[in-house]
Structure formats: structure tokens, C-alpha cells
Amino acid sequence: MGWRDLVYGAYERRVLKDLPRESLPRHVAVMLDGNRRWARARGAGTAHGHQAGADKIEELLEWCEEAGVEYVTLWLLSTDNLRRAEDELGPLLKIISNAVAELAASGRWRLRIAGAVDLLPRETSESLQRSAAATAGVSGMTVNVAVAYGGRREIADAVRDMLLEHAAKGETLEQIAARLTVEDIAGHLYTKGQPDPDLVIRTSGEQRLGGFLLWQSATSEFYFCEAYWPDFRHVDFLRALRAYAGRHRRHGT
């Protein structure tokens, strides 16, 4: 171990020690961005970047566990990503399926699939849902795996499900509209029953949501990191937590 590693380790321990545990987020959402650019910078193919990104996920979840986070949402594939060329999309879907299966096999976290899985190939959809079902009895941290996810699509799906639920009870459109509340729609989101994310992290230097958790992030804090996702370090995560803990969340009051 060189002196740089020693200095880095000491700094990391200091940041961790100084974090106010009472001010840390319950729910952290992460946009795992920059895999392709990371691969290009190394002269490698996109599949190499996607695999490197998948290999980083378990490490992130361990950091979240250590910090006492109760819910994590990971955006692995957007609905827009489904328009990518088949020679990239096919291997990417396989990498995602394998990564989720490995997380499930660890037995450490409860997985939930968040997204329009009907847009995915049947083999991928069934694999993801089998992995999530295998963790139904796990009492650990809840991990939402956002695959084929789009924020606008989620809201449309939630409204559709809510309307169908009320219509099945014999209610008219006028009756539904007269009593419609924010909570009615929230109760049909992919993340229903969970607290909204306190902190949303995006890697790769991009500073936009791109449709991620549009409804749930209304009062979230945001942290943008320059590192590409495969290069995201523990100290980068700790800095995000420190930035979050230092903000005064007024929620409009």
C-alpha cells in the first residue's frame, strides 16, 4: 500500500466519522451514469463498461447499508435506452439480468423491480421478476431496481391503474375525479408504500434528472458527481451524504 492509499484511507475514515448519523437519508436513489463513456476512455467496447458498472452495484449497496440507508433505488435502464441498437441492448439486458440475479442470490437485500417490464423481452422480464420474488422474505434493505423505467411512463401507469381500480368498484369517471387526491396516484406508483427518496445521486457530471423519479423527487436533495459510475468511490458516496446532511430541508415551510 502506497502513501497515497494511506492518505486516502485516513481521509475516508475522517469523513465517515464526522457524518451526523441522525441527519442521513433513509432513501437514496442513484442514476448509474457514464458506463459507455468510461469504456470509450479506455478504448473498450460498451459491454465492458456496462459490466464494470454492474460490478460496482454490490459495493454501493454495502456502503448504503453501512450508513443505515433503508431504501435504495437504482436506475439501470430507461425506456429511452430500449431504442439502442440491438448489438448493445442485447448484451446489456443480459448483464442486468445476471447482476440482479446475483444480488438476489446473496440473500442480503429485498429486491423490487420498478419499471414497465412489459416492454422488455419475455426472458429478461421473467428473470428479473424471479430474482425479486426470491427475496420476498428478506428483511434487509429494500432495493428498487429500475429497469425499462421512465418517470412519465410511471405516472401514466399509476393513473391508469388507479382509474381501473375505481372503475372495478363501479365508480363513474365523475365520481373518481371529484375525490381524486395526490395520495390516490402515489398509491399506484412503482415505489408505492415507500418513502420518497431523500437524496438523488447522479454520476458522470450530467446535471439533469432525465425522467428519473419525477413524482417522488419533488422534495429530494440532489448531488451530482463528476466520476463515471464505474469509477464512483466510497469517498464520493460519503461526500454526497455529507452534502445532504449539511442542507436545511424546509419542505416549503
CA angle 119, 216, 106 (to 5 degrees): 65
Active-site residue flag, 33 = yes
Show the 3-state SS of 4-62. Answer: HHHHHHHHHHHHHHHCCHHHCCCEEEEECCCHHHHHHHCCCCHHHHHHHHHHHHHHHHH
Alpha-carbon torsion (150, 151, 155, 158), positive or negative: positive
Cell of 151: 418517470
> Which residue shows C-alpha cell 448484451?
91
Query: Residue 77 and residue 209: Cα distance in Å, rounded?
Result: 14
Please give the C-alpha separations between residue 154 and each of 9, 96, 195, 205, in angstroms, as whole numbers. 41, 20, 16, 25
> Which residue shows C-alpha cell 420474488?
133
Among candidate residues 240, 205, 208, 206, the one with its CA nearest the CA of residue 226? 205
Q: Determine contact, residues 200/175, Cβ cutoff 8 Å.
A: no
Catalytic residue among 18, 33, 161, 198: 33
DSSP code, position 124: H
Question: Where in the sequence numbering do the catalytic residues fall?
Answer: 33, 81
